[in-house]
Amino acid sequence: MKCKVMIGTAAAVMSVSAAEQAAGENRRLSGSELNELPLDSSLVRPHVARMRQAAQAELQAEDNTPDFSDQFLVKFLRARDFDAEPALKLLLNYQRWRRQSPEISTSLSPTSVLGLLNNGYHAVLPQRDHGGSRVLVYRIGKWNPKEWSAFQVFSISMMTSELISREAETQRRGLKVIFDLEGWSFSHAIQFNPSLARKISSVLMDSFPLKVRGIHLINEPMFFQPVFAMLRPFLSDKIRSRIHMHGRGFVDTLTDFFAISLLPPELGGDGPGIEDACREWTNQLLQSEGLLEQIAVHATGDVATTPSLFHHPNDATVPSSSSPFHPNDTSRDATVSSHSSLLHPNDTSRDATVSSHSSLLHHPNDTSRDATVSHSSQIPLSEG
């Protein structure tokens, strides 16, 4: 009840009438259009400022009034396509999840799970998919449950999620996940219980500023079904609709969703090998250990950032005429950690620090206006 009252209060704070907008505006921008703009755009600044004010009003009721950075707040706005109330709810859920699940939120040390990483358990593929989404791969058979707990395994997802959620393109385009369940056994299954399932699904849907565009399961055995049945009740209809089970014949179907040039040979493609991808991403995680440790101990997870000298090796996007992202987009966006930015090397978009002088959030599709637009500039998870 308290949460509903708090969200309702913020919703009232976020409402803005057309009369409060500057005169001379000729049209409003949709959420998807706002997503394409850099953080220093005059059209984005009011949304970020109102988000800050609403968040501080909510958290003040909890005796906690952090001063969030613009780069941090825009992650949540982009994850909900600048729909103000859901974006605020996502931010508050993220804060509560961090406090309520410290066994996960504070376990962000790559060296603590280095044996599992070195075994080739996880990779972020060097190319994005045709729509600009990051593609993550998890190989369950590389996880020995006698050596690594489910919480430790899940912490790897959280490390990757924290890093890629700092990328402007990933904030816009989201991610897709491929789970290779070859080697899944009873010893894996008994690691999961309803409590863990609830926490995983909570992060997946409502508590992390990332858009989950697709979940693909391959080589899934029959006895994986009980674990999936445990997760299923906690998943929204939208997430359920994005889950695809390919079975052992995945080579014939996975390419319906991903370009052959993107997938490694082990997954039926002709892209870089999965072992190389695992090593490259492990290196990225290790380079980012200092940053991840700062996020783990920070009260809100909003760690100050500086321009980075690092990026994901060979990061590239498969162009698509249907995608608003162009791999050679020269606009700048998010400033990211000097430990690891993981940005697309050709995506030179950069956000700038902006001030918060506007008040009150509003949905980009309401009757209020943003500003006169002569042309558009370019700019363990949640739905989007």
Domain extent, residue 161, equals: 107-287
CA–CA gap between residue 176 and residue 127 (Å, rounded): 12
Let me know whether 238 and 136 are in one domain: yes
What pLDDT is stored for residue 383 in this prediction? 54
Let me know whether 89 and 184 are in one domain: no
Average pLDDT, the chain: 77
In the block, residue with structure tokens 């939208």? 238
> Is beta strand 175-180 parallel, antiparallel or unpaired with respect to 212-218?
parallel
Let me know whether 83 and 220 are in one domain: no
Let me know whether 135 and 237 are in one domain: yes
For the stretch 196-216, pLDDT in tens is: 777 777 776 789 999 999 999
Q: Is residue 327 part of a domain?
A: no
- In total, the chain counts a number of residues equal to 384
Q: Is residue 221 part of a domain?
A: yes
Of the pLDDT bands very low, low, confident and very high (cuts 50, 70, 90), residue 337 is very low
Let me know whether 73 and 119 are in one domain: no
CATH number at residue 182: 3.40.525.10
Could you give the 3-state DSSP secondary structure of residue 23? coil
φ, ψ for residue 280 (rounded to 5)?
Answer: -60, -45
Q: What is the DSSP string of 322-362?
A: T-S--TT---B-----SS-----TT--B-------------
For the stretch 244-284, pLDDT in tens is: 999 999 999 999 999 999 999 999 999 999 999 999 999 99
Let me know whether 64 and 184 are in one domain: no
Last residue of a domain, one of 240, 259, 287: 287
What pLDDT is stored for residue 384 in this prediction? 61
Of the pLDDT bands very low, low, confident and very high (cuts 50, 70, 90), residue 354 is very low
CATH number at residue 54: 1.10.8.20
Let me know whether 136 and 269 are in one domain: yes
Number of domains in the chain: 2
Among the listed residues 200, 81, 177, the one whose alpha carbon sits nearest the alpha carbon of residue 125: 177
Percentage of residues in the chain having pLDDT higher than 90: 55
